[in-house]
């Protein structure tokens, strides 16, 4: 966006006569509501956010207590160049310090406590592995370079496994990559390419998780709650327990207009909202956490294969026009899009001391980085990873309690200690498997179990956004000819940005609002790291892990005694 674009918009003509309906209460809809008010000059009372659940935040969740256990289905890694995210939260007051913004307190926290990992990978029941390099050979560097230079059109629907040599899938880089971003070998290599471009500036710190920034608490308390409170203070209407099942559309050769919204309130009451070209409709099409289920200490979560309401609505809309995307590309193979996570609530010092052995820091050091990101267990049949973020993770969390989050990429595999599929395991069994890999013998596990509550979460669609797809499978944020409909979130197409990020959802919201209201303002620019020669050189040096670069001596001679001498 740049300072030149950071303007106060003019009030759109007729905005007082418009209403906005936002389907889904995740971060994309909340952000869209904010920009409708801030830059679109719409009154909050004319904005309604509709959700089939009874809570806002979507995948950015966090709830519970120390007695019953805390739950966070996942977390989002962020970085300095999330310019849409920071633009949004530069205007949202902090709950704890109302005279400062969420961005103010977030930036200060991460400057004073920069993130880094002291242990990225373990195996052999707790042995810490060296993680100083990415473990790439010349052939792997060539393949990564080839991917970097390829066009999305030539890659098409190719998977990671189809693109790379099998030996690449055994490298440390692939282990770091897949566990950090939750990539599978059957996922889209186009999405991997986008990640390479988008985060190339972070490659030198990839193995140590340097350059990442994290919230003080869980992401619901730190980001969703203050944003929701700001929206409520501006009289935005939240319509919970309400499921939208279809949209009526008037479609001709040039224009597509939503003329009505069909919904069911409280699972029984049917309702219809008539709309016209002046009413705006924003739909978060698709969901990573749709049909999620929770287990307990003594019960495994069920895998819900039924069609979720969000996916069903997108399918109904997609039938009306090909420009509305192809949901089947993302939601039709649950066995390739699911994985399971679990949250451990542990009392006392026993678990804290065990974590400190790997983190090098005490979890009881208030508001300080603990593990610095996930620690992955290389020889785990489930490919298990765990993390302990800054404690407390919840505002009501007692001082003698720590919260640990773990997940695995292969929930259908049998465990190394628990001889069952991960998906069939209770919370207690999941904890035992983790303890086993942390070097705790079976006879000593009970004292850890007695201090812990474990709540597993099964998510059928959690990596659906990574499934192979081609142009048109994801609809444009505002499809050609759309008069009053915009798509939001991880399944709307934004050129050059990458999914499974908070930034992607918020960017979609800004694009949607600015386009439908025809505002004379552009969204913040996507950080162009792939065009920065300094970034490219640093990434290349990282891939070679200290080995001499091709033609390095020649380049040094050419640059000697010039202003570019320090480039290599």
Q: What is the pLDDT of residue 255?
A: 96
Q: How large is the average pLDDT for residues 24-42?
A: 98
The label of the residue with tokens 């309401």 reads: 309
Question: The tokens 């990839």 sit on which residue?
Answer: 206
Determine the pLDDT at residue 555. Answer: 72
Domain CATH code at residue 373? 3.30.9.80
pLDDT tops 60 at residue 34: yes
pLDDT in tens, 198-231: 999 999 999 999 999 999 999 999 999 999 999 9
Query: Do the domain assignments include residue 397?
Result: yes
What is the per-residue pLDDT across 434-465, written as a single tens digit (0 to 9) for each?
999 999 999 999 999 999 999 999 999 999 99
Bin 189: left if φ > 0, else alpha if -120 < ψ < 50, else beta: alpha
Query: Are 371 and 411 members of one domain?
Result: yes
Predicted confidence at residue 551, as pLDDT, reads: 67
Please tell me the predicted confidence (pLDDT) of residue 230: 98
Does some domain include residue 413?
Answer: yes
Q: Which of 516, 534, 556 is the last residue of a domain?
A: 516
**What is the dihedral angle through the alpha carbons of 288, 293, 297, 298, rounded to the nearest 10 degrees?**
-140
| Mean pLDDT over each residue of the chain, to the nearest integer | 95
- Kindly state whether residues 467 and 322 are assigned to the same domain: yes
Can you tell me the distance from the alpha carbon of 219 to that of 349, in angstroms, rounded to the nearest whole number? 25
Instruction: Answer whether residue 491 is part of any domain.
Output: yes
CA dist 333 and 461 (Å) reads: 9
pLDDT at 560 over 60: yes
Examine residue 127 and state whether it is found in any structural domain, yes or no: no
Same-domain pairing of 278 and 386: no
17 and 114 share a domain?
no
Tens-digit pLDDT profile for residues 483-520: 999 999 999 999 999 999 999 999 999 999 999 999 99
Q: Residue 170: how many CA atoms within 13 Å on its side-chain side?
A: 5
Residue ranges making up the domain that contains 95: 78-120+213-217+339-459
Q: Can you name the residues that pair with 265 across neighbouring β-strands?
A: 242, 269
Residue 147: strand, helix, or coil: helix
pLDDT digits 0-9 by tens, 241-281 = 999 999 999 999 899 999 999 999 998 899 999 999 999 99
Q: How far apart are CA 445 and CA 566, in angstroms?
A: 54
pLDDT tens track for 514-550: 999 999 999 999 999 999 988 998 999 999 987 887 7
Q: For the chain, what is the domain count? A: 2
What amino acid positions are annotated as catalytic residues?
Answer: 77, 195
Q: What is the pTM of this model?
A: 0.96
Say if residues 429 and 420 touch (Cβ distance below 8 Å). yes
Residues 6+ apart with CB under 8 A from 122: 128, 129, 358, 375, 376, 377, 378, 437, 438
Q: What is the pLDDT of residue 6?
A: 84
Q: Provide, rounded to the nearest whole percent, the portion of the chain with pLDDT above 70.
A: 99
pLDDT at 549: 78
In a domain, 533, yes or no: no
Give the whole-angstrom CA distance, residue 384 versus residue 404. Answer: 13
Report, as an integer, the average pLDDT of 54-82. Answer: 95
Q: What is the CATH number of the domain that holds 506?
A: 3.50.50.60
CA atoms within 13 Å, Cβ hemisphere of 26: 28
State the SS3 of 302-346: CCCCCCCHHHHHHHHHHCCCHHHCCCHHHHCCHHHHCEEEEEEEE
- Residue 475 and residue 454 in one domain: no
DSSP-assigned beta bridge partners for residue 93 = 101
206 lies in a domain?
no
Residues 448 and 488 in one domain: no
Same domain, 21 and 111: no
Residue 10: inside a domain: yes
Q: In the structure encoding, which two tokens stand for residue 128, read together?
A: 């810490």
54-59 mean pLDDT: 95
């Amino acid at each position: 966006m740049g300072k030149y674009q950071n303007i106060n918009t003019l009030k759109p003509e007729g905005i007082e006569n418009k209403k906005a309906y936002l389907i889904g209460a995740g971060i994309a809809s909340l952000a869209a509501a904010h920009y409708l008010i801030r830059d679109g000059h719409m009154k909050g009372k004319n904005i309604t956010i509709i959700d089939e659940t009874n809570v806002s935040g979507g995948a950015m969740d966090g709830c519970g207590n120390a007695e019953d256990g805390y739950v966070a289905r996942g977390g989002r890694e962020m970085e300095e160049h999330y310019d849409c995210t920071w633009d949004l939260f530069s205007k949202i007051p902090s709950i704890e310090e109302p005279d400062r913004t969420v961005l103010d307190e977030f930036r200060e926290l991460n400057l004073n406590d920069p993130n880094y990992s002291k242990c990225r990978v373990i195996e052999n029941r707790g042995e810490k592995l060296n993680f100083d390099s990415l473990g790439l050979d010349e052939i792997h560097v060539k393949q990564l370079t080839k991917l970097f230079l390829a066009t999305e059109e030539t890659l098409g629907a190719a998977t990671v496994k189809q693109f790379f040599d099998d030996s690449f899938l055994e490298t440390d880089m692939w282990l770091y990559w897949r566990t950090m971003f939750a990539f599978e070998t059957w996922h889209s290599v186009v999405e991997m390419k986008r990640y390479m471009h988008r985060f190339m500036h972070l490659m030198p710190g990839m193995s140590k998780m340097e350059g990442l920034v994290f919230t003080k608490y869980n992401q619901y308390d730190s980001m969703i709650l203050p944003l929701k409170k700001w929206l409520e203070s501006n009289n935005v209407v939240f319509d919970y327990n309400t499921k939208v099942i279809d949209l009526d559309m008037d479609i001709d050769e040039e224009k597509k207009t939503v003329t009505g919204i069909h919904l069911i309130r409280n699972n029984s009451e049917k309702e219809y909202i008539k709309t016209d070209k002046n009413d705006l409709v924003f739909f978060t099409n698709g969901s990573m956490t749709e049909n999620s289920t929770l287990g307990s200490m003594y019960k495994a979560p069920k895998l819900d294969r039924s069609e979720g309401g969000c996916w069903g609505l997108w399918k109904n809309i997609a039938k009306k026009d090909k420009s509305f995307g192809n949901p089947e590309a993302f939601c039709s193979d649950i066995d390739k899009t699911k994985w399971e996570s679990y949250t451990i609530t542990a009392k006392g010092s026993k678990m804290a001391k065990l974590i400190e052995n790997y983190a090098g820091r005490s979890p009881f050091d208030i508001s300080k980085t603990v593990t610095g990101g996930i620690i992955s267990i290389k020889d785990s049949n489930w490919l298990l990873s765990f993390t302990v973020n800054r404690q407390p993770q919840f505002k009501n969390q007692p001082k003698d309690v720590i919260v640990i989050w773990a997940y695995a990429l292969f929930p259908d595999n049998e465990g190394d200690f628990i001889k069952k599929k991960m998906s069939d395991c209770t919370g207690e069994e999941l904890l035992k498997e983790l303890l086993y890999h942390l070097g705790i013998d079976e006879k000593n596990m009970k004292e850890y179990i007695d201090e812990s509550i474990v709540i597993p979460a099964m998510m059928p669609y959690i990596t659906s956004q990574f499934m192979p797809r081609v142009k048109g499978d994801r609809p444009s944020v505002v499809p050609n000819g759309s008069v009053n409909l915009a798509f939001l979130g991880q399944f709307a197409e934004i050129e050059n940005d990458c999914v499974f990020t908070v930034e992607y959802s918020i960017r979609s919201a800004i694009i949607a609002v600015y386009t439908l209201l025809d505002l004379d303002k552009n969204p913040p620019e996507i950080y162009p790291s792939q065009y920065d020669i300094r970034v490219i050189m640093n990434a290349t040096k990282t891939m070679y892990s200290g080995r001499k670069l091709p033609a390095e001596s020649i380049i040094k001679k050419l640059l000697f005694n010039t202003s570019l001498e320090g480039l290599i």
